[in-house]
Amino acid sequence: MKVDFNRWQVHWGGHQLAEWDAAHTAALGALQQDWSYGSAMLSLGVPVLRARINQDGETVAQAQFIVRRFGRFASVALCSRGPIWRKSLSSIEQAQVYQALKRTLPLSGLRVMLVTPEQPVGEPNGLPAIRRVVSGMSTVLLDLSPSMEQLRANLEHRWRHQLASSESSALRVERVGTQLNQFQWLLEAEIAQRQDRGLDGLPPAFVQRYTLTRTPTASTILTLRADAGRERVAAMMFLIHGTSATYHIGWTSEAGRDAYAHNLILWKAIEELKARGIQQLDLGGVNTIRSAGVARFKLRTGGKLVTLAGSYLL
């Protein structure tokens, strides 16, 4: 494909936070494309690149990349769940944008660009199918714009019955503070869970760095805990970005599981996120093989199952 690079100008610096946020919010962008996500990764020593793509002087897209280096001469730049398109482009135009990004990528040595677009599988995205190296993840997106009454009606009947059971129990849901010492125990529980199940994820230190990217810190994070008497039995943490939120981690004890504490916590979280003006909740990855119970829990909320197109090597 011949690309007119004079038509597509890529700017790797000089970004304005307010402008970036506005586009991210308007698109209900994913966590990985939020400015705060990149800032938190930078504070952890992870290289981050941000690009604006202009067409005839108008910004049509923005993309945030996390960079992984292999020695001194090779690096991979990952644009996860992006770019964010500010303007509707044809698949041919999108393909030209990807080529312009790859051509101008400000990395030395062997450079590889990996893109996982925020587009459902089967939707034209300008990326060549022969370059797909990983199949797309699935997630559940819950639209929070309906009323609480409608959201409750949308719950699958078993989920709704479990919620009613937890509401009539002795469980009490409390908001956890945004200081590290107030949620450190939950991060430690998450580390133990990952070790038991052989899972990985963002480093635990990411959460604290993320909370420090905005003021007040309460605008970046929501953590709720369920108590039975003096015993904490479950908790869930959500990261907030623009008018969207993403489920990050959760933990429950056997007592919490028996009392359907996560149903109650998630319902209370939906209520509070709506009150904050959040329009969409990303409930995170769905894996019906390794975590069938968790997948059912998410799917029964009435959210929309979305399978993304996958990861493409450029």
Q: Do 281 and 228 belong to one domain?
A: yes
Q: Same domain for 162 and 215? A: yes
- Looking at the fold, whether 192 and 221 belong to one and the same domain comes out as yes
Q: Is 295 inside a domain boundary?
A: yes
pLDDT of residue 200: 84
Q: Are residues 102 and 205 in the same domain?
A: no
Q: Which long-range contacts (CB under 8 A, 24 or more apart) does 55-60 make?
A: 55/7, 55/8, 55/87, 55/93, 56/7, 58/87, 59/19, 59/23, 59/86, 60/85, 60/86, 60/87, 60/89, 60/97
> Do the domain assignments include residue 299?
yes
**What are the tens digits of pLDDT across the range 73-95?**
999 999 999 999 999 999 999 99
Residues of the chain with pLDDT under 70: 1-5
Whether 176 and 114 map to the same domain: the answer is no
Both 193 and 110 in a single domain? no
**SS in 3 state form for the chain?**
CCCCCCCEEEECCCCCHHHHHHHHHHCCCCHHHCHHHHHHHHHCCCCEEEEEEEECCEEEEEEEEEEEEECCCEEEEEEECCCEECCCCCHHHHHHHHHHHHHHCCCCCEEEEEEECCCECCCCCCCCHHHEEECCCEEEEEECCCCHHHHHHHCCHHHHHHHHHHHCCCCEEEEECCCHHHHHHHHHHHHHHHHHHCCCCCCCHHHHHHHCCCCCHHHCEEEEEEEECCEEEEEEEEEEECCEEEEEEEEECHHHHHCCHHHHHHHHHHHHHHHCCCCEEEEEECCCCCCHHHHHHHHCCCCEEEEECCEEEC
Residue 7 is predicted with a pLDDT of 86
Final residue before a domain boundary, out of 69, 96, 127? 127
- Whether residues 151 and 57 share a domain: the answer is no
Q: Give the end of a domain, one of 127, 162, 177.
A: 127
Q: Does residue 178 belong to any structural domain of this protein?
A: yes
- Do residues 206 and 240 both lie within one domain? yes
Which pTM was predicted? 0.95
155 and 242 belong to one structural domain: yes
Domain of 85 in residue numbering reads as 8-127
Model confidence pLDDT, tens digit, residues 113-129: 999 999 999 888 899 98
Task: Say if residue 148 is in the same domain as residue 258.
Answer: yes
Note whether residue 133 is domain-resident.
no
**Structural domains in the chain (count):** 2
Instruction: Give the per-residue pLDDT at 3.
Output: 61
Asked, for residue 313, whether it belongs to a domain, the answer is no
* CA nearest to 3, candidates 82, 133, 111, 102: 102
> Looking at residue 4, what is its pLDDT?
67
Does the residue 39 lie in any domain? yes
In a domain, 162, yes or no: yes
- Give the model's pLDDT for residue 55: 92
